[in-house]
Chains A and B, each alone.
Chain A
Amino acid sequence: MKIFSLFDFNVRKDNQFKFRRIKLLTCSLLLIMLFTTIGYRTISLASLKTENISQISSKNVKSKIYNKKIRGNIYDRNNKILSTTISTLSLNINPQEILNKHHTIAKLKKIFPQLKDQDLSKKLNSNRKHINLLREISPKEYVSLLKMGIEGLKIKTKSKRIYPNNNLAAHILGATDIDGKGIAGIEKKFDSQLQEGKDVTLSIHAGIQHITRKLLLEQIKKFEAEGGAGIIINAKNGQVYSIVSLPDYNANNYNSTLSKKLFNKATKGIYELGSTLKLITAAIAFESNLINEDEVFDVSKPLKISSRIITDFHPLNYSINIPEVIVHSSNIGSAKIAEKFGSSIQLKYLKSLGLLNTLSLEIPELGRPQVLMDKKVLTTMTISYGHGISITPMHLASATATIVNNGIKINPTLIKNKDPVQNEKIISKDTSMKMKSIMRLVVSNKHGTAKKAEANGYLIGGKTGTAEKIKPTGGYFKKENIVAFTGAFPMNDPEFIITIMIDNPKGQKFSNGYRTAGWIAAPVVKQIVTRIAPILGVKPQLESESKFSNSLLNYKIRGKNKGANL
């Protein structure tokens, strides 16, 4: 049967059975195809595509902001928030969607009286489709906006980095830029970790930080100084409890702060810290074994080296030993000690104490020491009493910690639970004990230069330093000083290091015109230690107790005609 014969009626009539079968087959094929299509579609619709559904549902919930990882928090050592990220609302507008512009301006002015008519009118009449009106609005203002029902408003949620404690530890915390990227301090150093939503716990103690800042600020105001720095670190593990740099700023206003205030004087600024460096000179003298402990140095006459004459602030008319050189803070004595051990040994110890390199502290704002390394006798002598060597106050605190920690190197750290590292031994336990004994005498002895640092029961020891300020163009300001104190407490078993630096204090009537460390830095040390010791769990003790007297040496310090030297 040919296909064209299918349309022939007679043929169809003759082959009725065959035609029925063809019809059935065609219908069956069509039905099979239809059901196959429907079946495939049903299964494909019913099958679960988890990712797509999640994405769709997430979009439905429309919270794009929450899909981003929130920047991690920064905590102090007691889990107090120092820096966190919150969601804020910003007010934007599409002028093309606004029907009655005068009406809208009036409504907006009711909620935001600070907005100016002219600005609003200009923005609302713009051809643009997206204009930011306010970067931040409060939840209360947001509710008012919703109630008003203004058309064309776009409220956007965005993240904002905040510092609830304002000025507290501002120099340490740093800041983030508008995109939430760390640009200074811990925010910069730990940016990748924080971006991943991981928190950072610092060794900083918010309470100690506040006390140090407050008392240092009071002293700076009292002596009309330009600024200062204060550091408290654990003498045994180097954990930093407080770093204060003044003047400081509100960490929430980083971008609008003057660069002068942003400068970290404690870790970035390098200064000649004067006689505080005599501690290192004495430690080298004991350690090098080149100088006999009983050896005395004639300080009765000024010392002339090359074109320079080295003098003492209050001259003594007899020969003195090493402890007396430190207690009386004799420049001549210190210079003569340094002359004995020489430049190479001096530089070797300065290097091992970390005073020639940048510190490894966990912030980017670190200063590199500047030291005269010409190996001349005069340079060796001046470095011995802190001239010709510029370091940060943090360098000094670190070196002090090493000296009192039985000579084991202390690297300051800002991280609370940092894995302890077995550090090298820089000086012997014996030298460390001698140094601790002398440091205590500087504060406790009636001829000591830091008598005003004595806080009953807390057994503070240390060394003062006063140096003329270096001119940016070279040379020294004759009437501008840097005053400093570095020390530890309690001296029989030092637990904490305290280093104070005050920049350019002015002599006051109540200080008899003096602008020296003994008058300015030492009293603030006493105040700080008295306040922080109970918080730090340092118990007051008597010097007469065996616990104290067994651990230190008793050097005899001879006096002089008039009061104490600087």
Chain B
Amino acid sequence: MIRSPSFLIIFVILFVAISLYQIKHFITKKEIELAEIKNNVIRVKSDINILNAELSYLKRPDRIEKIALNKLGLKEISPSDIWNLKDLVNVTDSLINGKNK
């Protein structure tokens, strides 16, 4: 006859062994998931890199210049197109004074 303490010991041993095995499997699974996620991150980063490269290709200064000049009708800035705020105030003042006179 197996006495109850022996039964308990066997039960505990079995329980610990099964639990350890379960934990090991759980961790292994998570390790694999983590490795997959890490690789996915690197892969996505690589994809982003490709997209950035494509964006950089599309934003080439020569291409943007052609679009700006030919499609948008923009033109190069000449010095007379640039005004200082101070100059604008002076011009506005002189216009107002001229009207008042």
Residues of A at under 8 Å CB distance from B? Answer: 35, 39, 42-43, 45-48, 50, 53-54, 57-58, 60-61, 63, 66, 70, 73, 80-82, 84-87, 162, 164-166, 168, 206-207, 209-211, 214, 455-458, 530-531, 533-534, 539-540
Q: Is the pair B27, A48 in contact by a Cβ cutoff of 8 Å?
A: yes
In the bound complex, residues from chain B placing their C-beta under 8 Å from that of A539 are: 82, 84
Instruction: Kindly identify, within residues 20 to 46 of chain B, every residue whose CB is under 8 Å from any CB belonging to chain A.
Output: 20-21, 23-24, 27-28, 31-32, 34-36, 39, 42-43, 45-46
Q: Is the pair B77, A534 in contact by a Cβ cutoff of 8 Å?
A: yes
Q: Is the pair A86, B49 in contact by a Cβ cutoff of 8 Å?
A: yes
In the bound complex, residues from chain B placing their C-beta under 8 Å from that of A530 are: 76, 78-79
Instruction: Please list the 4 inter-chain residue pairs (A to B) with the smallest Cβ-Cβ separation, ordered nearest first.
Output: A210-B61, A46-B20, A457-B79, A540-B79
Q: List 9 A-B contacts (CB under 8 A).
A: A39-B13, A46-B24, A57-B31, A57-B34, A57-B35, A60-B35, A165-B57, A214-B65, A458-B79
Rounded to whole angstroms, the CA-CA distance of A147 and B76 in the bound complex is 51
Q: Which residue of B lies closest to A458 (CB)?
A: B79
Q: Is B17's CB within 8 Å of the partner chain A?
A: yes
With A57-B36, A164-B53 given, is the CB distance from A66 to B61 under 8 Å? no
In the bound complex, residues from chain A placing their C-beta under 8 Å from that of B84 are: 539
Q: Is B52's CB within 8 Å of the partner chain A?
A: yes
A496 to chain B, nearest CB (A): 15
Rounded to whole angstroms, the CA-CA distance of A47 and B60 in the bound complex is 56
Which of B13, B31, B36, B45 has the most chain A CB within a 10 Å cutoff?
A: B31
In the bound complex, residues from chain B placing their C-beta under 8 Å from that of A48 are: 24, 27
Rounded to whole angstroms, the CA-CA distance of A43 and B76 in the bound complex is 77
Rounded to whole angstroms, the CA-CA distance of A539 and B86 in the bound complex is 13
Task: List the count of A-B residue pairs having beta carbons below 8 Å apart.
Answer: 111
Q: Is the pair A63, B21 in contact by a Cβ cutoff of 8 Å?
A: no
Rounded to whole angstroms, the CA-CA distance of A70 and B59 in the bound complex is 23
Q: Which residue of B lies closest to A85 (CB)?
A: B49
In the bound complex, residues from chain A placing their C-beta under 8 Å from that of B45 are: 70
Q: Is the pair B56, A86 in contact by a Cβ cutoff of 8 Å?
A: no
B82 to chain A, nearest CB (A): 6
In the bound complex, residues from chain A placing their C-beta under 8 Å from that of B59 are: 80
A538 to chain B, nearest CB (A): 10
Q: Is B50's CB within 8 Å of the partner chain A?
A: yes
In the bound complex, residues from chain B placing their C-beta under 8 Å from that of A39 are: 13, 17
In the bound complex, residues from chain B placing their C-beta under 8 Å from that of A60 are: 32, 35
Q: A57-B36, A87-B50, A209-B61 are in contact. List 7 more A-B contacts (CB 8 A).
A: A35-B13, A48-B24, A57-B31, A61-B32, A81-B52, A165-B57, A540-B79
Interface string of B63-88 (1 = CB under 8 A from A): 00100000000001111101010000
Q: Is the pair A46, B21 in contact by a Cβ cutoff of 8 Å?
A: yes
Q: Is the pair B62, A214 in contact by a Cβ cutoff of 8 Å?
A: yes
Which of A46, A73, A86, A165 contacts B50 (CB under 8 A)?
A86
Which of A35, A46, A166, A457 contacts B60 (CB under 8 A)?
A166
In the bound complex, residues from chain B placing their C-beta under 8 Å from that of A534 are: 77, 82
Q: Is the pair B76, A87 in contact by a Cβ cutoff of 8 Å?
A: no
In the bound complex, residues from chain B placing their C-beta under 8 Å from that of A165 are: 56-57, 60-61
Rounded to whole angstroms, the CA-CA distance of A168 and B80 in the bound complex is 30
Rounded to whole angstroms, the CA-CA distance of A290 and B25 in the bound complex is 89
In the bound complex, residues from chain A placing their C-beta under 8 Å from that of B65 are: 210, 214
In the bound complex, residues from chain B placing their C-beta under 8 Å from that of A207 are: 61
Q: Is the pair A210, B28 in contact by a Cβ cutoff of 8 Å?
A: no
Which of A61, A66, A210 contacts B46 (CB under 8 A)?
A66
Q: Which residue of A lies closest to B17 (CB)?
A: A42
Rounded to whole angstroms, the CA-CA distance of A53 and B30 in the bound complex is 10
